[in-house]
Structure 1
Amino acid sequence: MFKKIALGFLAVAATSALALSLPSAASAATTADSPSYDDYSDYWGPVYAQHRLAKSQGSVDVQWDDDQESNSVHVSGRLYDRDDRDYDEGGKCGYVQFQASDFDHDWSTVYTKKYCGFTGYKKFQFDTEDVFSLRVKVCQVGPSGGYPTRCGRWDYLYTAEAE
């Protein structure tokens, strides 16, 4: 009886050791192939358009070079269309816009995405370089495009001063 209990404990210990070693081996393989964003990383959102008829959320990761003079920013997220009206009833699509300022504090649009499809979402991701600040705004836009309307406020995702 004592021998069976001891073998049971050994089996559990061996299985636990194997299970604990697998995630670290898997993460080592992925970090060798992809860049490491360890200088700044955070989740953002949800950010809404007016009346909450569109929303977006995701993550932002920043990696500075060795001299701390340049950076790479990776943004990923989801854009949701929450307007359940038909387009002939005035329904619109979700629209997200990202702007970045350079080190001279000049703002420019670096990414936009439109998604039409109530109850669903569209994944997106993009990279940009040399960013001092990054902000996002969610709006609505017609299914065939046009000028974004019913925008929410700008939400600041990253500022180099904060680091």
Structure 2
Amino acid sequence: MMKKIATGILAIAATSAVALSLPSAASATTATATATADFDDYSDYWGPVYAKQHLAKAQGHVDVAWDEEDSNEVQVTGRLYDLDDRDYDEGGKCAYVKFQAEDSDGDWSTVYTRKYCGSPGYKKFHFEENDVFTLRVKVCQVPEQGTFATKCGSWRELYSAEDA
């Protein structure tokens, strides 16, 4: 009988020790995650953004890091999907994504484009750009052997320094 009571007390003590150690381990994990997340001044998922008639789409993630001199670095990752399953001789087209950045003077310039032919499927992409005030994206379709974008969706703003 005495052995059972001693075993029970030891089991309770061991369980209490484990329970007391868990909150400190959880807070250490949270502190590490917070320190890592502080690197990005802005971070968000974007999309999906579609071409007209939803035959192409893009989606991904944008991260922005600012330095002390009012300069930033924008990193964009994503996937471009070709959703047009028609053959090219039937009028099928490829997916096309275009990114434009606005600088602090209000001037827009194209900073990245990508074309992908291969329904069904997608192509991953990644690019970086510096000193971006606003970033926007548009998804279109293009002929397999061409670069003239057609059936474009509207521009979608992904990031603005005013909102961050």
**Corresponding position: 1:36 with 2:42:** no
Q: Give the match for residue 162 of structure 1.
A: 163
User: What amino acid is aligned across from residue 52 of structure 1 in structure 2?
Assistant: H
Work out the CA distance in 2 between the residues paired with 1:133 and 1:120: 29
- Match of 1:88, SS state, is helix
Q: Give the match for residue 83 of structure 1.
A: 84
Work out the CA distance in 2 between the residues paired with 1:109 and 1:48: 18
**Corresponding position: 1:56 with 2:58:** yes
Q: Highest CA radius of gyration, 1 or 2?
A: 2
Name the TM-score, length of structure 1 as normaliser.
0.81
- Match of 1:145, SS state, is coil
Alignment partner of 2:15 out of 9, 19, 25: 9
Work out the CA distance in 1 between the residues paired with 2:110 and 2:137: 10
- Summarize the Cα distance change of 1:7–1:48 in structure 2 as closer, same or farther, 3 Å threshold: same
- Summarize the Cα distance change of 1:26–1:120 in structure 2 as closer, same or farther, 3 Å threshold: farther
> What fraction of aligned residue pairs are identical, expressed as a percent?
59
Structure 2 unmatched runs, 5+: none
Cα shift readout 1:64-90 (whole Å, capped 9, x = no counterpart):
1113x2111011111111101011111
- Match of 1:137, SS state, is strand
Name the TM-score, length of structure 2 as normaliser.
0.80
The Cα shift of 1:94 comes to 0.7
- Match of 2:105, SS state, is coil
Work out the CA distance in 2 between the residues paired with 1:114 and 1:148: 10
- Summarize the Cα distance change of 1:84–1:134 in structure 2 as closer, same or farther, 3 Å threshold: same
Q: What is the RMSD computed on CA atoms of the aligned residues?
A: 2.9
**Corresponding position: 1:142 with 2:143:** yes
Work out the CA distance in 2 between the residues paired with 1:27 and 1:161: 26
Work out the CA distance in 2 between the residues paired with 1:88 and 1:12: 67
Work out the CA distance in 2 between the residues paired with 1:157 and 1:93: 23
Work out the CA distance in 2 between the residues paired with 1:25 and 1:132: 31
The Cα shift of 1:160 comes to 1.2
The Cα shift of 1:60 comes to 1.0
Count of paired positions: 158
The Cα shift of 1:26 comes to 8.3
Residue correspondence of structure 1 range 118-133 to structure 2 within 5 A: 118-133=119-134
The Cα shift of 1:119 comes to 2.1
